[in-house]
A and B are shown apart, each in its own frame.
Chain A
Amino acid sequence: MQTSPSNSRTHLSALGIAATIAACMVFACFVWARNIQEERLHSVAPEFCDAKLHGVALIREAFSRPDTLVFLGSSELIPTVPMRGVDFFSQAPTGFSMFPVGKAGTTALSVLQKLGGAGDTLRGKKVVLSLSPSFFQNEQVDAKYFAGNSSKLQTKEFLWNTGFSEELRQAAAQNILRYPQAYEGDWMLEFTLRRLADSKRADRLMLALIWPFASFDRAVCRLQDHVEASLALLNASDDDQMVDASPLPIAKRSVVNWDELLKKAEAQSKALAARTARKPLKVIRDKGTGDSQFLSRLKNAEEWKHFELVLRLIREAGAEPLVMSMPLHVDVLEAQGVSPDARSYFGKQLRGLTQKYRVPLVYFEKHENDPVFFVDQFDHIGSKGWWYYNKVVDDFYHNRLSPGSVASL
């Protein structure tokens, strides 16, 4: 069976026309997705969907908006207690709204991926990092935590972004390679990680050779991400019946009475504590007997290394960060025989690292003994804790944060 040249030409021209129409449809789809993201970004702010946490489109959109402050945290974002940041700022009472990113087990290596995926949109943008001290009390990062928070798309976007130094991307690749679940099933990602981690001359050559295909792969993934993100926004908008989260006009903004809100938050926290009727923990070990074990875990915690990579990335990206850390759970540590001296190592190490990268730090160490700062014993802050967080975040956004204002908290 032979095909005549004119028949082949007919097929080729038909394929060409069809491909052009398909390309136009894809472009129209992209424009539609971008419009949805611009219009409805805030409907997904309180959600924990994959498109938000593991994609790049929504995080980049949030960073690109001057009226939105990206807040990277972990499980403290989940419990729906009164005064929770995302709810408190949902109507932008002081001119901005919060866009929290993170869920249970979002450790520093996942934060690194999310910020790396945001890429150039970070430049000059404010960003808040909320730290959970419990992540620093284990030598190894729980592989389940990282597996459940890792994103292949964010990792690829970060690793192929030459705006970040090769040393940073190499260090990130070496750390991510230790968690095979983060790249299994994606040969392109695994190849990139391995070549970057070694970074010998041959590795660089192979990366250069594969660059066109890797770029195409990421372009397809980004397009998918835009569509997924828009579908997530449409779903969230349907659920919320189109909550309008655009900032209130200046004339309608109320002056936030922080003192009044603190009283309210304290009352809410006490009421919640009374309902849960948590019994005080029994001291099972003498003071100081748990120090060596606690300090060994704290000093060797991998999380410090990952957190330092995050600080390096933020500095390279030219973002304006704020690091906030919850206090340690003193009642739990005292029950384990950990003395105040040993506990102070966490604050010292945190201050040392943030000072090294000139990043402002707000560490709520003074609230170690506050029984209602947290809602439980797992780094989940309650209404009172959120009041402090909201106050600091508001001061940070409006450039009112100073050593004096922090010292009073």
Chain B
Amino acid sequence: MEEWLAQHPRTRQALLVVCYLALILALVFMYGRGDFSTPPFVYQEF
């Protein structure tokens, strides 16, 4: 596989881009969601 990739530098480059992009997107999905929830809240009179 490594040999084949060494013979096809453009494909290697494209695969690397896909890998890095997947990594960045995974990080965004893991940590990127907003959290606007507030602490537990009990409204006594309602």
Contacts and interface: CB of A to CB of B under 8 A. Distances in A.
B37 A50 contact: yes
Given A105-B43, A378-B45, A14 B17 contact: yes
Contact of A55 (B17, B20, B36): B36
A228 B34 contact: yes
For the side of the interface on B, what is the size category? Answer: 20 to 34
B36 A50 contact: yes
A150 to B, nearest CB: 7
Contacts of A149: 38, 41
A227 to B, nearest CB: 7
Contacts of B21: 18, 21-22
Contacts of B17: 14, 17-18, 21
Nearest to B24: A22
A304 B18 CA distance: 58
A19 interface: yes
Contacts of A319: none
A378 B44 CA distance: 11
Nearest to A152: B36
B1 to A, nearest CB: 16
For the side of the interface on A, what is the size category? Answer: 35 or more
Interface string A253-270: 000000000000000000
Interface in A198-232: 220-221, 224-225, 227-228
B13 A14 contact: yes
A18 B36 contact: no
Nearest to B33: A224
A282 to B, nearest CB: 20
Contacts of A181: 39
A148 interface: yes
A225 B34 contact: yes
B46 to A, nearest CB: 5
Contacts of A105: 41, 43
A10 B20 CA distance: 12
Contacts of B20: 14-15, 17-19
Residue from B16, B25, B38 with most neighbouring chain A CB atoms (10 Å): B38
Nearest to A105: B43
Given A14-B19, A104-B43, 18 more contacts: A14-B17, A14-B20, A17-B20, A18-B18, A18-B19, A19-B20, A22-B25, A50-B36, A51-B36, A54-B38, A55-B34, A105-B43, A147-B41, A149-B41, A153-B36, A220-B32, A221-B34, A225-B36
Interface of B: 9, 12-13, 16-21, 23-25, 28, 32-34, 36-43, 45-46
Interface of A: 10-11, 13-15, 17-19, 21-22, 25-26, 50-51, 54-55, 75, 78, 104-105, 144-145, 147-151, 153, 181, 220-221, 224-225, 227-228, 378
14 contacts: A14-B17, A18-B23, A21-B21, A22-B21, A50-B36, A55-B36, A104-B41, A104-B43, A105-B43, A148-B38, A148-B43, A151-B36, A153-B34, A225-B36
